[in-house]
Amino acid sequence: MPPALFLVGKMINAILGTKIDQTQKFTEDGKRIPVTKIKAGPCYVAQIKTVDKDGYNAVQLEFGKKKREVKVEKIPEYKKGDRISVGEVFKVGDKVKVTGWSKGKGFTGVVKRWGFKGGPRTHGQSDRERAPGSIGQTTTPGRVYKGKKMAGRAGWKRVAISGLTVTDIDRDILEVKGLVPGPKNGLLIVQKYA
C-alpha cells in the first residue's frame, strides 16, 4: 500500500510521476548539485470515494495505466475526469517528499544483501569467503531465530526521501535537488513536505 496522500479543499498536495533521469546542474555561484528529472502528471481523477458509499473519503488518481488512491478529509470539488497538472500542485522552492521503489537486485548472498564480512581468506578456507557462518546456537534453543539475516531477495522495497527541493518546473517535467529511489521509468509519488 502506498503512503496516504492528502487534499486540502480544491488544492491537491501530491502527484504521480515517473523518473526520467538523474543528472547535475550548476547554481549561480558555481556550485554543482545533483538533480533528478521527474515526468510528473498530468494525472486524472479516476474515481471519488465517499464515507457514505465506501466508508472513507478518497480520490483515485490515474497516471498512464497506473492508479493510486489519495485519502482526503472531506470530499473535494474535483469530479471524475478532471486533469491535475504539476504546475497546480508545486512551485519552485517547495520542499517535497518522493516515494518510490528501490531497484530490485534479485536473489543475493549475505555479503551483498547485509554487508557481512565473510570468512577468512587463508588457512584452508577457500570455499567460505562469502558464507554467512554459524546461523544458530546449540541444543538450546535448537532452532534458528525468526528474522535471522540470511541470503534472499534484495531490493524492490518502498523508499521515501524527504526534504528535497523543487529547482525547476517545465510543462510536465519536475526537477528536484537530490536523488530519488528506483529505476528509470519507475513510478514515484511526489508530495509536499511540511
What CATH number has the domain spanning 7-102+157-192? 2.40.30.10
HSE toward the beta carbon, residue 49, CA cutoff 13 A: 14
Give the integer Cα–Cα distance in Å for 172 and 27: 22
Give the tens place of pLDDT for each residue, 54-65: 898 888 899 988
The full length of the chain comes to: 194
Q: Where are the domains of the chain?
A: 7-102+157-192
Cα dihedral 185, 191, 192, 194 in deg (nearest 10): -130
Residues 6+ away with beta carbon under 8 Å from 75: 48, 50, 57
Contact 181, 102 (CB under 8 A): yes
Give the tens place of pLDDT for each residue, 81-139: 889 889 888 899 999 999 999 999 999 999 999 999 988 888 888 888 899 988 988 89
